[in-house]
Structure 1
Amino acid sequence: MKQRKETSMSFRASARFKLALALAAQHENRSQSNLLETLIFEFCRQKGIEVPADAVVRQE
């Protein structure tokens, strides 16, 4: 089941990172946000970091 993507994120990155992300996403035929999400979830899986399916972002 697809999860709704309703949380906006913003961060600063180097021009090199931005280009690398664009090239990698294009190579994988994915959007940049989809590629980042895929990579982060795979990283967590490999490191044994449990991410609850019903996670909620806490407003601080």
Structure 2
Amino acid sequence: MADVKTEQLGLRITPTAKALLREAAVREHRSASNMVEHLIFEYCETNNIAVVVNNPPTKTGKTTP
């Protein structure tokens, strides 16, 4: 499996929301960042928001199929 490039996202949340995120992540055996990503995708799926997969260019500059 090819490595997927990640991006940073800085945001401010309340201490309560942070504690809830950490607890949810622990229960799911996930990192906090993976839990946020999981929740985003779950929300999009539930609310019929299309997830567009961005095919990054290869070393030759061509996009993958």
TM-score normalized by the length of structure 1:
0.79
Post-superposition Cα deviations, 1:4-60, rounded to whole Å, max 9, x if no partner, equal 1421110000000010011110111100111111111011011110121118xxxxx
Give aligned-pair identity as a percent: 36
User: Does 2:18 correspond to 1:22?
Assistant: no
Equivalenced residue count is 55
Structure-2 change in CA distance of 1:3 and 1:36 (3 Å):
farther
Q: Which has the larger radius of gyration?
A: 2
Structure 1: give runs of 5+ residues left out of the alignment.
56-60
Q: RMSD value over aligned CA atoms?
A: 1.8
More helix by share: 1
Structure 2: give runs of 5+ residues left out of the alignment.
56-65
TM-score normalized by the length of structure 2:
0.73
Tell me how far apart the structure 1 counterparts of residues 48 and 2 of structure 2 sit (CA, whole Å).
23
